[in-house]
Structure 1
Amino acid sequence: MAKANPLQEQLLKAGLVKKSKVAEVAREQHKAKHAKAASGPSEIQLEAERARAEKVERDRALEAERKTQARTAELRAQARQIINDRKVPRTGESEYRFVVDGAIRTLLVNDDLRRKLSSGALVIARIDDRFELLPRPAADKVRERDASMIVLDHGQATGSEPEASTSEDDAYYAQFKVPDDLMW
């Protein structure tokens, strides 16, 4: 008992407590004091750990978003490069009209280009504010990278829904025979 409490000393001198009882109380106080510190992390430490974990998760999410944006920008740049490298020169005086974003656009083409466009051998792609003609293989490569750059493609299937309805229609109309000599 190097450092005794002044109250404990007074109680000892007055004979109200025994020396062994004072030592026991001091040991209990010492254990209680040190047991609290070793019992576990405090509320502040838990909150700090939670904040650190949230920051790590936020940083991870931001990094994933940055990587996604970088990958999208890279694919868009590749698509632009394909369009610039593989575009078909447009010649002709005939106007070819098509709808993009609710507005009617016009390209000047010749008869050969018009046939290729309508058959799906050529596709119209948008790069910035201009439109370019692309052959089908190049258009497929552009579509893999950024499908929004392809604005007109007559050769692509529009989905399975219309095909299913036409097969039902064909089955229904098969019961009606059309004469061979019918003239329209």
Structure 2
Amino acid sequence: MSNSIQDQLLKAGLADGKKARKIAKEKRREVNRARHEGVDYVDENKEAAQLTLARNAERDRELNHSLNSKVQRKAINAQIKQLIEVNKLAKGRGDVNFKFTDSKKVKSLYVTPVEHKQLSAGVLSIVKQGDQYEILPRPVADKIAERDQDRIISCETSAESDLTEEEQGWYKDYEIPDDLMW
């Protein structure tokens, strides 16, 4: 099998038998000379083949890793979609316009007054599914956040936590009404 290329070249008439025997003889002499001198014989072809095999194995590992990550990402998206479909609340049945921000854009959903309070308090959360927004209970939104944090839109009104202690002191005398809409 090691002479298969040599045999093919001989059969095709691209090389002659004398030349092939001469090259094989020189190679045997080189190996014997190296053995007698105590020097290890290095076969460049064998080393090149091993290097090529190592490169191919590394490339295959990288391809498998990327394919596995794509498959894993698809599975996570399917899990998120299922969580949303099973647990979403009906939207559009309310008369209160609830506004929220999604990546520097102000969006709005019509919700009931109860849902508005629950969204403001953090009991309910808004989740992005494609170009749609769905309202989910907070525990379900937390499960989705474990898989993909970018899908969760925070709606809690925690303006006080964004302020320093000095700024909070300035505003402590001014209460914000609970029914304030923006």
TM-score higher than 0.5:
yes
Q: What's the offset of the Cα at 1:152?
A: 2.7
Rg (Cα) greater in structure:
1
Residues 27-86 of structure 1, C-alpha deviation per residue, up to 9 Å, x if partnerless? xx9x84441586434222211211110110110121112112211110111011101110
Within 5 A, what are the aligned runs for 1:25-174? 32-36=29-33, 39-90=40-91, 91-154=93-156, 166=164, 169=166
**Number of aligned pairs?**
141
Asked if the contact 2:126–2:136 (Cα under 8 Å) also holds between the matched residues in 1, the reply is yes
The verdict on how the C-alpha distance between 1:48 and 1:36 changes in structure 2, with shifts beyond 3 A counting, is farther
* SS of residue matched to 1:92: coil
Unaligned runs of 5+ in 1: 1-28
In the other structure, the counterpart of 1:24 is: none
The verdict on how the C-alpha distance between 1:106 and 1:35 changes in structure 2, with shifts beyond 3 A counting, is same
Unaligned runs of 5+ in 2: 1-25, 176-182
What's the TM-score once normalised by structure 2's chain length? 0.65
Letter in structure 1 aligned against 2:70: Q
What's the TM-score once normalised by structure 1's chain length? 0.65
Asked if the contact 2:127–2:134 (Cα under 8 Å) also holds between the matched residues in 1, the reply is yes
In the other structure, the counterpart of 2:13 is: none
Q: Distance in 2 between matches of 1:93 and 1:124?
A: 17
The verdict on how the C-alpha distance between 1:45 and 1:37 changes in structure 2, with shifts beyond 3 A counting, is farther
Residue identity (%): 27
Letter in structure 2 aligned against 1:92: G
When structure 1 is superposed on structure 2, of 93-102 and 112-121 the one drifting more is: 93-102
Letter in structure 2 aligned against 1:112: V
Q: Distance in 1 between matches of 2:105 and 2:33?
A: 74
The verdict on how the C-alpha distance between 1:183 and 1:102 changes in structure 2, with shifts beyond 3 A counting, is closer
Q: Distance in 2 between matches of 1:126 and 1:67?
A: 25
RMSD: 3.3
The verdict on how the C-alpha distance between 1:36 and 1:58 changes in structure 2, with shifts beyond 3 A counting, is farther
Q: Distance in 2 between matches of 1:65 and 1:72?
A: 10
Q: What's the offset of the Cα at 1:151?
A: 2.1
Higher relative contact order (CA 8 A, sep 6+): 1
* SS of residue matched to 1:88: coil
